[in-house]
Each structure stands twice: as C-alpha cells, then as structure tokens.
Amino acid sequence: MDIDPDDVFRDDEDPENELFQERDSTKEMLVYLVDASPKMFSTTCPSEDQKDVTHFQVAVSCIAQSLRTQIINRSYDEVAICFFNTRERKNLQDSNNVYVFNVPEREELDRPTARLIKEFDSIEESFSKEIGSKYGILPGSRDNSLYNALWVAQALLRKGSAKTAEKRILLFTNEDDPFGNIKGMTKMDMTRTTLQRAKDAQDLGISIELLPLTRPDDEFNMSLFYADLLGLEGTNLTQFKALVGERFEDMKDQLRKRMFRKRKIRRLKFIITDAISIEVNTYALVRPTNPGTITWLDSVTNLPLKTDRSFICADTGALVQGTPKLFQTYKNESIMFSTDELSEIKRVSTGPLRLLGFKPLSCLKDYHNLKPSTFVFPSDECTLCSNFIFCIHFNLLAVFFAVAFYGSSTHPQLVALVAQEEIMSTSGQVEPPGMHMIYLPYSDDVRPVEELHTDTNAMAPRATDDQIKSASALVRRVDLKSFSVCQFANPALQRHYAVLQALALDEDEMPDVQDETLPDEEGMARPGVVKALEEFKLSVYGENYDEESDSIASGKTSDASKKRKAIADKATEESAKVDWSDLADKGELKELTVPKLKYYLTANGLSVSGKKEDLINRILTHLGK
Amino acid sequence: MNLCALTFLIVIDAVVVGMDMLIKKYGQTNKGKKRLCLLTNAASPTKDPYDGTKEDQVNTIAEQMRAHGMKMDCIVVRVTQDLDVDKKILEENDYLLNAFSYKSSTKTVHVDSPTSLLGALRTRNISPVTIYRGDFEMSSKMKIKVWVYKKTSEEKFPTLKKYSDKAPPTDNFATHEIKVDYEYKSIEDPNKSVPPEQRIKGYRYGPQVVPISSAELEAFKFKPEKSVKLLGFTDDSNIMRHYYMRDVNIFIAEPGNTKAIVAVSALARALKEMNKVAIVRCVWRQGQGNAVVGVLTPNVSDKHHIPDSFYFNVLPFAEDIREFQFPSFSNLPSSMQPNEQQQEAADKLVQMLDLAPTGKEVLRPDLTPNPVLERFYHCLEVKSKQQDAAVPPLDETLRKITEPDPELISQNKAVIDEFHRCFELKENPKLKKSSRRLLKEKPTGSNEEGLGSGAVQAIDAIEYTSRVKVEKIGDLDPVQDFEAMMSRRDGTEWVNKAIQDMKNKIFDMVENSFEGDTYHKALECLVALRKGCILEQEPKQFNDFLHHLVKFCQEKDLKSFGEYLASHEITLISKKEAPDSEISEEDAKSFIVKREPKAEN
C-alpha cells in the first residue's frame, strides 16, 4: 500500500495503469451560479452540532469541497464562481447584481488554483463586506438579476469549442418563483426574456442544471418557473426531485452527488450467446486515488525537465535505434518475440465480454479478488440491453452471479458479475442498481497459505463454545452500527495535499492533518467494552497470560539465539587457539582459511562479509595494525 | 524440487520410488522444499504389501516423508465417464490417500477435467513471505499474535528483456541485453543535461507544479507506526463485495502459539455465527507511507488440521469513491421493462448455464489456470525447437476458460433458441444503429481493446455474417471477400486495396493453373472485379488490367485462358457502362475478338 512516487522506472506496459486511467479527453467547463439573495441567508437547516446553517453556507461549502476534489482529480477542468442577487457588481458585461468571484493570476473561467481554494474558503466572512446580498428583482425596477446571471455565465463559457469541452452551468437557488413579487406585463416580459436567454445558452451547447435547496415544509415548486427554464416535461418533471434536506449533511451529500458528471470508462459488447450480444457501459466507481505523477524540475530554475530515454546495448555500449525485439531466456537459449507475437499470445478470447455461465454466490469467496471492481450499466440507447439486464438482474440478486470472460488486451481474465440492488437513503441513492464486475484470480494467483504451517500430527486448536460466546459478547459491544466504507479520508493523501497547498501558497506553517483512521480510544475505554475485552482475554488466554506470553516469546527466540550463541562460543574457542597478533606481524594471515578468519571476526563481533582480502584487512584494522 | 510420478497402477510403490529419488539426490538438505506430485485416477486396485496392512504401509511412508521434510500434492483425476470402475476400490483408495493427508504434508485435490488438472498442477511454487508479524491490537491491553501473508497476488506475465543484435556473432558471452538510460534535459537548452542532484520532484496542484525536495517530503510525510489495530465490528451487509480494492491477505495466528490460535478461532467463529466482520487499520511496516483500512472476514476451516484464520481485504477511502447517480430500474418506462416471457426465458438461461450444478463447480478460480501464461509457456517451448515458429493457437483445454462450454450449449439448444426468440422479437432500429456504430468504431480507434483483425473477424463472423470485416482476399471464396472489401465504408483505401488484391489473385490463378483447372474460378473473379469496377467508377483499372492480362497470357503461352475469356464474353468496360471509361461500346466488344486472331498469327 506504499505510495511510491519515485516510480520513473515503472514497466512501460504497466497493466495497472490501464485500469486506473480514465480515457475521457474532453474537459469540462463549469460555472457555479449561486443565488445570494437574502432568502438564501434566512433559510436554515440544522447541522450536526445543532447549529443552524443557511442555504448559502450549504452551497458554498459544497462548492469548496468540489473544488478540492477537482484540483486533485481533474485539474484540467475550468471553473468560474458567480453570485447573483448581490449588492456589488463585478463582471465583464457590467450587469447589475452579478458578481464573479476570482483571485489574482487567474482568468475568470480557469483551472482552479491553490489561491482560489484558499480565498473561497473564507468567503463567508468577507461576503457581506465585499459582495453583499440584495434582491435583484424588485417591483418597480426593470432589473432582472437571473437574466443577467445567465448572460454573464454564458459569456464566461464562450471560450473553447463545444466539441472539445463540455459546458455546464450549475444553478444553486432556493427561490422557486423568481418573479413572484412582480405583477402583470412586466412579469410576463421578464419571464419570457429569461427563458429565451436560457434557451439561447442551451442552443450553444451549454447545459443548465438546477440544484434547488428547500426545506421539507416548503416544497420547491418546479412548475412555477424552472421546469420551463430546464425544458422539463411530463415524466422527467415528476422524476426531478428537489433536494429536500432535513439535515445539512443530507443536503451536502445530495449536492455532492449531483455536481459530478458520470464518466464512463468504455463501452463493451457483452456477448450473451452466439446470436445475442448487448451493449453495456462500464464505470469506475471505486479506484485508488494517489498523489499524482511527479514532474522532475530543475532545482535552480524550477522549470520542468524533459526526459530522454535511450536504449543502450549492454555488450557494446552502442545506442540502439527503433523498437527492439524482446527475448526470454529458456533452456539457456534466448527465445525472441516480436510485440505482435506477444499481443497474439495475449489474445485468448474472441470477445470483449463473454458470458460463460452462472454460479451461486457462495462460490464467490472473499479471497477471489485482485483489483478494484468496475460497474456495469446497460447503455442508454438500447432497449434490448436493458431488458436483458433487468431479467438477469432480477434473477441474480442475492443468489447467483454471472461468470464471464473479459478479453482485455493486457489482462484477459475471468470476471464475476454480481448484481446490485438499488439502495436508497434519506440522502438519495447510496448504491446504484446494476452489476459489479469483480476480477477473479487464476489458480496461479492464489497461494495455499492456510496449509503452510499445519502441524500434520496434531489437530489444530479450536475455540470452545464458551470462548466463542465471550467473543460474541465482545463483538456485540464494539459494534460500528453506521459504518460505511467511505467514512475515512486517506490520511497520507490528505497530508500530501495539505503540504502541497501550503507550499504553493508559500505558507510558513505546515498544516496539521488529523488521522481519522485511528481507533476510537475513548469508545474503547468505555467500562462495558473494557469488561468485554477482559472477559474475552480471560476466556481465551487463561488467568496468567502475560507471564506465559513472555515465556512463549522467549521460547520462540531461544532456538535461534541458542544457535547463534553456539556459533559465537565455538568461534571464541577456535579463535583463542591462534596467536593472531603474531600471525599478523609475520603477514601469515593469508595462509589461514576463510572459516578460520571468520572465527576471529565472529569472536570479536565484526562483520564476516566480503572477500578473503576484506576479512584480513578487517582483522588487521581491529588488531590496530 | 519437484517430481512428478505419473503412474496409475502402483500408486504406493510409486510414492516410495519418488521419495527415494528425492532422498538420494538431495539427502537431508532442502527440507520443506522437496515436493512430490502424485497424479492418479486412484481407480485401480492396490496390491497388498508383504507384511502388515495397506494402512500400515501408508503410515510408514508418511512418517518417512515427514522425517525428510517432504510435501506431496496429490491430484486425483476423475472424469465423470469412467465411473464404471469398482466403487469399492475407489473408496479404499480415497481412504488411503486421505490417510496420507492426515499423516503427512499432503494436499489432495480432486479434478474432473483437463482444464482443472492444468490449474491444479502448481509448476511454480512461491515460498510465501509474511508481510507482517506482530500484534493484532484489539485494545491496548488485549493483543493477539498474528502473521499476515498474501493470499492472492497476481502472477504477472514475465517481463521480457529487450534484445540487442549489436554484439558480434562470434562473442559467445554476449548478453544481448539492452540497458535503458534516462537523461533529464532542461527545456530551455535541450543539449544541457541536468545532473541528478540538481533535480527536484514537482507535484501538480492545479495548474501549478509545486517543487518539494526529498528532505521536505520526508519531513512532512505521513509516518504511521507499524501496527494492526481493531477499529470495531460491523454487520457484513455493510461491506459490499465490490468495495474490495486489492489482492487479498490472510491473517493467521502465530504458528505454534496455541493461545493465539484459539483466540483467532474464537473470534472467527463468533463473527461467522453473527454475520459480522471486523474493521482494522493496518500499517505493515515501519516507515510505510500510508495506513490502510480493511475488513477481516472469518475463514472457518473445515479441515481439522488447519486452524481458523481471517481474510483481509483493503477498503476504499473517501477519496477513492465516485458517487455517480444512475437511473433507478423501477422508475423506467414500461417499454424498457421485460415482459413475462422474456423473464421466463432469462430464468431458464440462468438455470441452464449453471456452472456449479450439485456442488460440482466448474471453472473454480483455484483450479483455473491463466490461459495467457499457459499459452506463453507453450509458445516458448515451440519456439525453443524452432525459432521462427508461429504462435500456436489456443489449446482446446484453455478455450474452455475463455468461451462457453460448447457441450453445455448444444445440450440446451432448446432453451437458447427460446431465449433468442424472446429477445430478438423486440429488436428495434435503434439497436441496429448502435451495433453498427460499434462495428465501425473498432478498426479506427479502439486500440485498447487490442482486438486485431483476426479476433474481430471471428466475433463478427458469428453474429454478422453479412457484415464480415474482410481485410484481405482469401483463397476460399475470393469473390465474396472482394465484395465485402469493396463495400467497406470505414475507409476509402479499401476499394483500391480490394481491386489490387483481386488482380493479384486472378494472376496467381491463371499462372498456377494446371490444364485450366482454375480458369473457372479466375473467370468468376474477373466477373466480380468487372462488376465492382463499374460500381465504384473505376473502369480504367479494369480495362488496363484486362489488357495486361491478355497480353500476359499471350506471352506466357496461356492462350487457352484468352479463349476461355472470349467464350464467356468478358469485355472491357465501355463508356455506356461507366462514364469515366474511354472505350466505346464497339471497341469493348471487339476487344477479345480482335486480340485473338493476332495471338494466333
């Protein structure tokens, strides 16, 4: 699990890479459009520590969090943060009530920088002073802050072509009827122009997404205005659910999930039978995040270095041009392979994903795992695929899994397709419905460790029922009820990026990152837990364990140490037989055999490594000659 | 030190002989590394020894094996067909072999197919090394001594060395290896190489690259203490199977430490009973740069001489999870939901393709060899005999791993046909479109799939016989290949290639004909070529070729072909047929006729 950044000599065809890279070359341009109206500040929801948090704070903290994730994972994406319904104005169009937040050395729509993240973190304090909140749509004035905001966002997204970049506007608001306080013709007019503005943006390939914030008792009514703005109709509208967060955490969770766009790894053809194959998309839902690749810099100029790789013949030292052939030594001969031949060897299957059959889930053992799984979901375009997946899905749930052969070019491998039922919680979808592809090991990859230390004569000791009972009591005591796999942040990664951020901003003080993975000492010290532990210990170890453990430990070491002692004793004995000083003076040490020289060295606690010459030199040095 | 005893008759004697060979060769050395591999069907009667019972004999041998630190892998091969042998003998033999396992370090595996046999034969035995030895801390007061090994670890495809032919052929000691040399050069001055001590690591942080010296890196690095600590227990349903991140480790109690073994056993059995798992935080080594959080699942042993243990799987951190939202299946419109018939057909398919009927699991990961490695070693052997040998095709035994069992399919043809019927009925234009797109995508971009022409052809041939992707004209059905190539729409070069290939083919046929035996085929090809050239507006190509061909026939004294052509009225392509042609209709018609008399002159 060691993260080794010093990995320049990694194998060229490192197969792991294939798995961890996502091949999505398009970058994303994203404008966060945040409503900063007084209503966003007056509506609150309770947070964990019983303090009330405003909707504005929810939105801001989500954006801050996603910026952090983005700078690590997808730093090529460009973002802009834009508030509307503000007192001040700052934008290229000089429109009223719109404020584009930015930091120096950065364009308004640009990649996130360390500075942006840092300053955005403290926006809540500076907001009222520098930006200010104010309703932008008031009766009697013709100002339309929502229209202005969309206009500014669209202008920000003008750069880059729609083909190479995906452009999105994420709109955070808790006002379901922006023109509610305006009457008559003005309202119709404003509504019409705003909708037209949104439609223009959508025609330019910009997608507008709405993240409505509401409280349970005050539902966000899509049909008042936003359904038209987003172009939602019929079933789509009913499916679009407002984020109803009872708690701040729930709301944050939902926002986080909606802010990221799904990216598929690839589309696969899943061959069911000779005549039927369906299309599925694969997604990487779980992949280890690492500190990223290193770039070598010149320490004088801090400019990046260019790496030149050259092949040098080990025999002659000559430079080898072109791609050399490869060889493997076999029976003392070099067997040559061309890269074509090697890929031919690896091509053992006729299809990308081929169904072989089904097995009961009990056949999938806990040790049948090699690398993170891949999520499989039917592709949108084909009814048949989803039909089939539904059938199989229904069939497989909790009982069977499908065995298929995944014919990748580098790692053709057996996979298990395990159906997953959708799991919902108050904060939305926890587990999406679909299938997880689990990579199975071959017999070559499984090691029979269990049998390694078996004592052939004796029965292995087993716990008695009483001992199991005390263990059960302990398990019941130390129960993590709400454990979820993603509750811990990676301490090494957190530290790494905190250090990076501090260095990037030239901060003197290094941040202290909390390690969330340490056990809960406090919880473990609760009397109930301590008692259960004591009882378990007593039950399996007996009364006077500590003494015994020591004796076991010393008994274990005695074997090795006895041997070592015996060698040392013998060495001392043997070494005493020789008059070393005399031999050294006469220069006759070289007449002695190496084992004899080693007696001296061992007896005097010196290293016995090296050639005879080294040994003699070491003895001479030790004798002081 | 492996020894394979390949005998089916006198199993016990063979074991004795095998042991003797190992003892003679290696004596007391290499304790624990000597391994016997017994391959038997254990279906033949064993003969009674001169004194004592068979059981005694087995005991004596097992005793000897233990004394010499020998291990035995016993693979019992039983294919279902040969069950007509005496049940009694089978039982007796199984009993004797079991006695072996109890008394000595013998592992018995039953296999029922050649594929499993390949998987069961462990050619390379890695002596496992612990990745951690020490305390499993349940609290500061309660600790269990454990050893941690790797349970699964991917057996990588061997890394081949790069070959250099620079060394003179006379040099017998040449290694022919290539060293890879890296040189770091500054961007400003590409000729200036930067020495290693002047280099500094930079990490990306957004658009910035932040330089960090190794001293700084070391100072600020996360440095956890070596330990394995319990965080708590939780329901096993809280840990989804697909969250397992890496290869698997195994926690065993310190060997020989009875109390530790009992403690592990008690915990494992308690967890198993309650359907719980343990969450632990591990730092295997001092100085390791990271901690991992993982899950311990109980592995309760059913063999009385193997102690209970835990499997350990790494769990993801918060950063490793991407929460994408997918549409819920239940919310989708009814047209996307399957009908009853389809559901039934799918149910049957699942039943029929059951790979573990009545407990006899096929393709068990533990007994399934890696087909790529097997093929590579096979290829090595072939190539060692003949350096330029082609890569042998995938062995039939290995094909069982990559493709569905044809026997199983043919036995259940009715179910599959029903399944096809249910799912094909609903084919819609959208699907057709998307499948065509998939086909089209393949030759251009998707290198990552690594499917060369051969494989693509193979799959497509199964499903899209009409749309076979042909890349060259074969001997079997040149006309069809030609037409397929001409109609390829994924590149303009295919038409020219097809025409060129076809011309060569026709030449070959004419030239290699024996008393006109290939004329008929050549004519068919020529007709196809003519048609193709008209369709693709390439009359000149055909006309030039026909001129050339006729001339060639005259020169090579192959007049008979010219006559054959004339008799079948093959003409040049005229202006009427293709506007680009420069040949008038009469000229076209008279072409062969005109030529023929000349040839006879």
Quote the ipTM score: 0.70
* A475 in Cβ contact with B296 (< 8 Å): no
Which of A13, A346, A396, A468 to probe by mutation at the B interface, max B CB count within 10 Å?
A468
Neighbour-count burial for A57-96, b at 16+ CB within 10 Å, e otherwise: bbbbbbbbebbbbbbbebbebbbbbbbbbbeebbbeeebb
Among chain A residues, the shortest Cα distance to B458 is held by: A350
Q: What is the DSSP string of B525-545?
A: HHHHHHHHHHHTT-HHHHHHH
The residue assigned the tokens 């598929």 is: A264
| Chain A environment of B164 (Cβ under 8 Å) | 311, 313-316, 320, 324
Taking an 8 Å cut-off on Cβ atoms, the answer to whether B273 and A299 are in contact is: no
Task: With CA atoms as reference, report the closest residue to A226 among A248, A241, A247.
Answer: A241
Residue B435: pLDDT over 60: no
Q: Are residues B148 and B291 in the same domain?
A: yes
Q: Which long-range contacts (CB under 8 A, 24 or more apart) does B1-6 make?
A: B1/B25, B1/B26, B1/B30, B1/B33, B1/B34, B1/B35, B2/B35, B2/B37, B2/B123, B2/B125, B3/B35, B3/B36, B3/B37, B4/B37, B4/B39, B5/B36, B5/B37, B5/B38, B5/B39, B6/B39
Question: How close, in Å, is residue B487 to chain A by CA atoms?
Answer: 23
Q: Considering the domain boundaries, does residue B188 fall inside one?
A: no
Amino acid residing at A448: P
Residues B512 and B583 in one domain: yes
Kind and range of the H or E run holding B150: strand B143-150
Can you tell me the distance from the alpha carbon of A171 to that of A213, in angstroms, rounded to the nearest whole number? 10
CATH for B399: 1.10.1600.10
Q: Are residues B289 and B140 in the same domain?
A: yes
Last residue of one domain, picked from the residues B363, B389, B422: B422
With CB atoms and an 8 Å threshold, state whether A515 touches B291: yes
Residues B307 and B377 in one domain: no
Q: Show me where the domains of chain A are located.
A: 25-261, 263-451, 465-555, 559-623
β-partners of residue B312 are: B249, B296
Quick: pLDDT tens for A390-448: 656 666 665 677 788 887 777 888 888 888 877 777 666 778 878 888 888 888 888 88
Q: Is residue B595 part of a domain?
A: no
Q: Which two tokens stand for residue B19?
A: 């042991």
Distance from CA of B328 to the nearest CA of A (A): 7
Number of domains in chain B: 4
Which chain B residues contact residue A350 at CB under 8 A? Answer: 402-403, 455, 458-459, 462
Q: How far apart are the first and last CA of chain A?
A: 50
CA distance B389 to A50: 75
Domain boundary among B291, B320, B349: B320
Cβ atoms of residues A350 and A412 within 8 Å:
no
Q: Which of the residue ranges A94-108, A128-142, B59-73 has the most confident prediction, judged by mean pLDDT?
A: A94-108
Using 50, 70 and 90 to split pLDDT, how confident is the model at A383? low
Q: Which residues of A touch B72 (CB under 8 A)?
A: none
Chain A, 337 to 376: residues with Cβ < 8 Å from chain B are 337, 341-352, 354-360, 363-373, 375
The CATH code for residues A25-261 is 3.40.50.410
Tell if the CB–CB gap between B365 and A446 is shorter than 8 Å. yes
* A396–chain B nearest CA distance, Å: 8
Do residues B364 and B113 lie in contact, with contact meaning Cβ atoms separated by under 8 Å? no
- Tell me if B380 is assigned to some domain: yes
Are A519 and B229 in contact by the 8 Å Cβ rule? The answer is: yes
CB B111 within 8 A of CB B117: yes
Confidence check: pLDDT of A265 > 50: yes
- For residue B174, which of A381, A313, A509 has the smallest C-alpha distance? A313
Do the domain assignments include residue B415? Answer: yes
- The Cα A611–Cα A594 span in angstroms is 9
Q: Per residue in B561-584, pLDDT tens?
A: 777 777 777 777 877 777 777 777
Q: Does A578 touch chain B (CB under 8 A)?
A: no
Q: Which of A370-379, A450-459, B41-50 has the largest mean confidence?
A: A370-379
Is residue B196 included in any domain, yes or no? Answer: no
| Calpha distance B457→B502 (Å, rounded) | 20
Same domain for B514 and B389? no
Domain A263-451 sits in CATH at: 2.40.290.10
Domain shared by B384 and B415, yes or no: yes
CB A379 within 8 A of CB A267: yes
Q: Do B472 and B565 fall into the same domain?
A: yes
**Chain A contact set for B259 (CB, 8 A):** 540-542, 545, 548-549, 552
Are B367 and B296 members of one domain? no
pLDDT band per the 50, 70, 90 thresholds, residue A24: very low
In angstroms, the first-to-last Cα distance of chain B is 82
Task: Identify the domain boundary among B396, B422, B448.
Answer: B422
pLDDT for the residue numbered B577: 75
The DSSP 8-state label assigned to residue B497 in this structure reads H
Which of the four CATH numbers 3.10.290.20, 3.40.605.10, 1.10.1600.10, 3.40.50.1820 does domain A465-555 have? 1.10.1600.10
Give a yes or no: residue B25 inside a domain: yes
The pTM of this model reads: 0.68
Q: Are residues B345 and B406 in the same domain?
A: yes
Sequence-separated (6 or more) residues with CB below 8 Å from residue A494: A513
pLDDT tens digits for range B240-269: 888 898 889 999 888 878 888 888 888 898
Most confident of B4-18, B19-33, B376-390, B585-599: B376-390
Interchain CB distance below 8 Å, A312 and B259? no
Amino acid (1-letter code) at residue A502: A
List pLDDT tens digits, range A530-578: 888 888 888 888 766 654 454 444 444 445 566 677 777 887 887 787 7
Mean pLDDT, range A296-325, rounded to an integer = 78
Q: Which structural domain range is residue B499 located in?
A: 438-590
The residue of chain B with its CA nearest to that of A438 is B242
